[in-house]
Structure 1
């Protein structure tokens, strides 16, 4: 027995030693790719020495004698810190993920090939101005200089992920950067999803009820919707079954409905600033990831220094400031997409109907290589309206009648795209006038650009707006017959037609993705807006002060108060507050009363430490589901987030909307009060099962965790504990400090989409400006800069944003000097 024990101990010890050796070897290989920031290296492709000074937050301050050398340095820094991220962005745009991940990503590659993103980027690269071409090439040389170093010195293949996915890494070229910008357009687009969902709801419950569940943003510009099936002379049962939407893939660039781009930006003129200088605050909202989408950098250009947020893969600064000019971005929600239903020729499926009769579609074969599987050949087709998309994408099969196919019109899908040059012009702008002029060449993705100089503030929508016919059958809100002349685009509107607000009389301008203006179709800009709620809180905060400061702008950025909660709770609980007989402890009635008592004293602050936000969110989620599930069936799953305008319409009985409270399958006629009470009970049962404990001890932040997950390694057991970053957060779907919930899965309240970048610039003292990102600068999970900024971001803190070289050098984590090779 003793001998058996000794041998057991020896075997266990041997296994532990071997495991330790294996872990040490893995750590050694992974650590080889950690960049050395304090070094002097020769580099091919620069005309003079380039210096990359990384400040205490690991933000590179890049200095060179020419702009081309500075952009070279940015490419070098991006590749040092975010090589895997850049490779993934490029592969996604190219439709080549399946070479790495196999069949899992075949659908993604199929879509990207059919959209023709990368070939269009290659063509666009030949159409740039000489200045833009020089920038793109210099940046690519910088990326490739780092790749050469990795290969020459065996630096762990440049990123730890590349040990698991050992595909070759090709040199970076100018078209790659343009493709990344187009890919960002794919990620932020949302109008296809909205059009398809409207059509599906119309098929399920009719056009007359669509205005309730998918209402237009409040305002006078509301138009009646046509019956979708009648557009094609078909009955609703002729369309595919209303099946639930597939679960989103974290590698897919297509955002589910409600998860497109968002953002906040606002500016104050000197007259509204306590210090007498202009103020600007900006926090773009994108999906959270580890590392963050954003990468901070400072570039010392010939026109002056600029500092702010970049996206690895692109040489332009998307949001930031110079010495006397600053700019910020918000998604404009400009309607730059239309879905067309194309009628096939019954005698020749290669032809579709046009106003001039049947015409053949263009077609081209494309081969998708799939890891460990035979390659897949797809036949890509285009009509005069755009690329043909199979029904597997965007749930198009559910709204395409038999004998038809679906095509997509989109301003993004053009080779005549000089958006990158517009970004360069914006970085070099020194005044509002120059900033406004910079947008003339911008195509997509459309953005509202809020800008300030020393004296003036302005906001302008950048991006091409389709020119539609006033008689368009659906006004672009639902798919339309592609063979009818009035539904087809007639080019694009002039840049002057885009919304513009310069030096407003009130001295404040801003956007929370809210409706910008009221113009009749077809110059309406959009029927879908990203916000009807945050703007109400923003207006109150801006009007509450005669003058603003940097601190008041920060307070607004971090504001967790939900106007939505303040508006909805008195409505849905009108007949529930302080009513009914006292109930004994342990009964559902008593639990409901305790929950209502908490909510009655709550001010709507979505604070991570409070129980009320969780009770409120669970209640509204259960309530909306009860209102729509009986009519929509599985399609109700597409409504993963509460639509506050819908809830308000129902409980105010706007145009008879209270009819949604009645359960159509039941004999009794249910009232809204009954449904509200049942939804609260259901929410409390869910909380008890999912969280447990006393409701007074609940914490919103325990469920509302920001999910900065690694898109690939984040799913690997054990490893995910090292690469994923989770943080308890305040805010919610409709707060200025936005933390959009997932709306899906076991925990539908995970915070998955929000301000990955925050910047606040005070031009009375520009070097007092501040910024922060949600994770860290490095994409290497062994680096101390992988998540060091995340702790500050979570607490609502910032780091200084100075253009003073001396401050950058003070306590720098390293200085890289690149010397031209002889």
Structure 2
């Protein structure tokens, strides 16, 4: 865990113990608020909710209720976390998260700007979503933490404000700064604790094919964001349709009233994580005679001081209340450590309109609608691979990019001197000035967490030279990006089956950095300390015959993947560098220890596990069939934790017909192990197959397992 000793020790030193009771909740007010909504929830043959309502707010109410039915515990933890109140439930392990919420000023921004910055139509939606959670909670009091109710629309908006910077690595930058390791990268979970489960690293990919490249003149989109399989950012599938324009199916996160990744009859998008330089850290010169003053523009300035108050559960009704000062300079909030004091400025630090952005793209009907939403500059980061029924395709490198053009000589990716106010940026680069690829001649676009300067298999990608270094735009390629480009270039015409095969590809590219390291290892030969030992000699010869394939029946993949995974983690996630000789030895020893041989089937090691059930998997880390299971389990297996989760294939055929198929790793009932939908999609997922999603209500009703009207008239 992260050692924020300068925070934690001060928290502990200012603790007061109280027998504290949660505030009383007026259930009648909650019931009255919910009575204005009415939603129809039809669950298909896999229990996936299809939610209908006259208004967008009715659909949001139904989505919240349905999600609570399937995963209330995660919803609850997220809401407590975004309030900075998770320690009241989870104790000391959540204090850093609660402090971070207050340090970031999440609630100052939401409370000050909610009415003005969020349009009424979006406020109505987030408030209806909050009402849906409240309704479910009142009907199921045994599941409810005493500090939860009532949930408000502001809680929903705050969830977006708090979580969106985490996608571009905000928490990691703070963690590295706290430990004096800025730039070296730390594990996501060392900072933010929303779930008790370890949240693995994030990836993603999206591919769009237009009519000119498609065998049957259909437009096709692969929606394939790689997320943890459980927890606060695990995908939950829903289909939403309102009388006001929302008509979409896709994945959402607990706490979101909107589809975040998906498609509808008009258009669709796949989101992928990008990590431009969106965080600036300024080192302050502190007055040696007054540690609350900093030097800037040739004079001393006072740090502004506020206070974080954190309620920490001990046991039963006993709580600690910890008080810790929060300091601000003109740059932003400040962290004080033994090794210095630093102010932090980040993209979106004053932004609360993320929910409005998603509301707009959920209702979008055209390419212009989507571009207009991007032009809001409300989403701090995230790439969007786009396609629509008209035949438009695009890859947008979206970012709230700080305009640092005042001084292009500064290394903005290092720590910056905090003594010059001219280096404090106050605006963002316009959306159309960022890298984008629109309708390239090749008829295909893609992104797989790689540089936006490689976004198609032909001409039309943006040129690196046209974008200044201070943007910090990624230049790296991933194995997945190499494979997509290669597989597209081998096929001038793409069929639906070929596109499916590209998405499910299980090979490493010889061009990928980890494979280059592996090939050098194989060329150089075993180190002296291993070459005299027979088991390593035999394993080395075995590894030479690996074809870089990760099919579940491959007998060389286990040794190969175990050898290169630490290298992949270093390249993708900036984990500590490891020596391939050590990796190889570990792989050989582990396979002998747990499986008795090195030529074990890859599917015996690479597993999808849900409860007592287990399935073999093809794929692996940084493979298009993405499976992330590192580290080895206690019985020597890689249990899938992240990667391919919600997958969608959408197509808009030349005759105007929209069709969609999808699969999720487990099932709709995310945290309900007694439900048949806890793992009913897993066999299909493990086999690399999908299910048809019925968008027509008459066809849906023929396969529906339930059809329920939720009218807000809950019973206390």
TM-score, normalised with respect to structure 2: 0.82
Q: Deviations over 1:27-69 (max 9, x none)?
A: xxxxxxxxxxxxxxx9864657532111111122222222222
Cα distance change on mapping 1:47 and 1:114 into 2, 3 Å: closer
The whole-number CA distance in structure 1 between the counterparts of 2:234 and 2:436 is 28
1:104 to 93, 97, 106: 93
Name 1:233's counterpart in structure 2: none
Name 1:597's counterpart in structure 2: 541
Shift of 1:385: 1.7
The whole-number CA distance in structure 1 between the counterparts of 2:174 and 2:358 is 30
Shift of 1:139: 2.0
1:684 to 584, 588, 604: 588
The whole-number CA distance in structure 1 between the counterparts of 2:45 and 2:484 is 33
CA RMSD, aligned part only? 3.7
Shift of 1:268: 0.6
Q: Deviations over 1:224-248 (max 9, x none)?
A: xxxxxxxxxxxxxxxxxxxx96894
The secondary structure found in structure 2 opposite 1:788 is coil
Q: Using the TM superposition, name which of 763-772 and 257-266 deviates more.
A: 257-266
The whole-number CA distance in structure 2 between the counterparts of 1:748 and 1:138 is 44
Is 1:329–1:448's contact at 8 Å kept on the other side of the alignment? yes
Shift of 1:457: 0.9
The secondary structure found in structure 1 opposite 2:305 is strand
Is 1:338–1:408's contact at 8 Å kept on the other side of the alignment? yes
The whole-number CA distance in structure 1 between the counterparts of 2:38 and 2:426 is 50
Name 2:502's counterpart in structure 1: 556
Name 1:541's counterpart in structure 2: 487
Cα distance change on mapping 1:337 and 1:544 into 2, 3 Å: same
Shift of 1:260: 4.7
Shift of 1:751: 3.7
Shift of 1:273: 0.9
Matches within 5 A, 1:349-388: 349-372=291-314, 373-388=319-334
The whole-number CA distance in structure 1 between the counterparts of 2:248 and 2:178 is 45
2:124 to 134, 137, 160: 134
Shift of 1:749: 5.0
Matches within 5 A, 1:37-116: 45=34, 49-116=38-105
Cα distance change on mapping 1:755 and 1:681 into 2, 3 Å: closer
1:193 to 172, 177, 193: 172
Name 2:569's counterpart in structure 1: 641
The whole-number CA distance in structure 2 between the counterparts of 1:645 and 1:773 is 24
The whole-number CA distance in structure 1 between the counterparts of 2:194 and 2:285 is 29
Q: Tell me, yes or no, if structure 1 residue 484 matches structure 2 residue 420.
A: yes
Q: Tell me, yes or no, if structure 1 residue 324 matches structure 2 residue 266.
A: yes
Q: Tell me, yes or no, if structure 1 residue 499 matches structure 2 residue 435.
A: yes
Shift of 1:552: 2.2
Q: Using the TM superposition, name which of 556-565 and 360-369 deviates more.
A: 556-565
The secondary structure found in structure 1 opposite 2:676 is coil
Shift of 1:445: 4.0
Q: Deviations over 1:260-318 (max 9, x none)?
A: 53210010110111121211002111223169721111111222521111222111111
Name 1:800's counterpart in structure 2: 692
The whole-number CA distance in structure 2 between the counterparts of 1:197 and 1:819 is 49
Q: Deviations over 1:694-747 (max 9, x none)?
A: 212x24444444577xxxxxxxxxxxx67xx86543322221122234458877
Cα distance change on mapping 1:506 and 1:795 into 2, 3 Å: same
Is 2:209–2:444's contact at 8 Å kept on the other side of the alignment? yes
Q: Using the TM superposition, name which of 273-282 and 473-482 deviates more.
A: 473-482
Is 1:443–1:462's contact at 8 Å kept on the other side of the alignment? no
Is 2:210–2:393's contact at 8 Å kept on the other side of the alignment? yes
Is 1:182–1:445's contact at 8 Å kept on the other side of the alignment? no
Matches within 5 A, 1:99-248: 99-126=88-115, 127-151=117-141, 157=142, 159=143, 162=144, 166-190=145-169, 193=172, 248=189
The whole-number CA distance in structure 1 between the counterparts of 2:385 and 2:393 is 8
Is 2:171–2:188's contact at 8 Å kept on the other side of the alignment? no
Cα distance change on mapping 1:256 and 1:305 into 2, 3 Å: closer
Q: Tell me, yes or no, if structure 1 residue 737 matches structure 2 residue 686.
A: no
1:420 to 341, 355, 368: 355
The whole-number CA distance in structure 2 between the counterparts of 1:727 and 1:356 is 65
Q: Tell me, yes or no, if structure 1 residue 440 matches structure 2 residue 375.
A: yes
Name 1:761's counterpart in structure 2: 650
The whole-number CA distance in structure 1 between the counterparts of 2:181 and 2:355 is 39
Segments of structure 2 that go 5 or more residues without pairing to the other structure are 1-30, 454-463
Cα distance change on mapping 1:245 and 1:406 into 2, 3 Å: same
Is 1:196–1:478's contact at 8 Å kept on the other side of the alignment? no
Is 2:93–2:193's contact at 8 Å kept on the other side of the alignment? no
The whole-number CA distance in structure 2 between the counterparts of 1:782 and 1:528 is 44
Segments of structure 1 that go 5 or more residues without pairing to the other structure are 1-41, 152-156, 204-209, 215-243, 392-396, 581-585, 625-639, 648-659, 662-674, 709-720
The secondary structure found in structure 1 opposite 2:675 is coil
Q: Using the TM superposition, name which of 534-543 and 455-464 deviates more.
A: 455-464
Is 1:72–1:140's contact at 8 Å kept on the other side of the alignment? yes
The secondary structure found in structure 2 opposite 1:768 is strand
The secondary structure found in structure 1 opposite 2:133 is helix
Shift of 1:381: 1.4
The whole-number CA distance in structure 2 between the counterparts of 1:784 and 1:100 is 29
The secondary structure found in structure 1 opposite 2:419 is coil
Q: Deviations over 1:649-699 (max 9, x none)?
A: xxxxxxxxxxx99xxxxxxxxxxxxx866764454234434x241212x24
The whole-number CA distance in structure 1 between the counterparts of 2:544 and 2:711 is 66
Name 1:617's counterpart in structure 2: 561
Q: Deviations over 1:150-177 (max 9, x none)?
A: 35xxxxx2x4xx5xxx534312211111
Cα distance change on mapping 1:117 and 1:287 into 2, 3 Å: farther
Shift of 1:819: 3.9
Q: Tell me, yes or no, if structure 1 residue 782 matches structure 2 residue 674.
A: yes
The whole-number CA distance in structure 2 between the counterparts of 1:191 and 1:247 is 10
Q: Tell me, yes or no, if structure 1 residue 338 matches structure 2 residue 277.
A: no
TM-score, normalised with respect to structure 1: 0.72
